[in-house]
Amino acid sequence: NEITLLTTQLRNIERKILRGIRDRNTRSLGATGLPVLLESTYRAMFIHLEELEAAQA
């Protein structure tokens, strides 16, 4: 199920972001590409959820 895979990916991205913040990583968050990946994962999840909702209607 693609939604399950996206959910897992989202959790992993969130963990990496939190780890970077907690470890006070000197590298900027933007340089890691994680914000872009986070946004695209959210977007893909909501597209799939909207399609699922439309199919059930």
Helices within the chain (DSSP H only)? 2-22, 29-32, 34-56
pTM of this structure: 0.76
> Domain containing 14: what range?
2-56
- Cβ pair 20, 29 in contact under 8 A: yes
CA 41 to chain CA centroid, nearest Å: 4
Provide the number of structural domains found in the chain: 1
- Split at pLDDT 50, 70, 90, the class of 8 is very high
Q: How confident is the model over 39-57, as a mean pLDDT?
A: 93
The arithmetic mean of pLDDT across residues 5-29, rounded, is 86
Q: How confident is the model at residue 30 (pLDDT cuts 50, 70, 90)?
A: confident
Percent of the chain residues topping a pLDDT of 70:
96
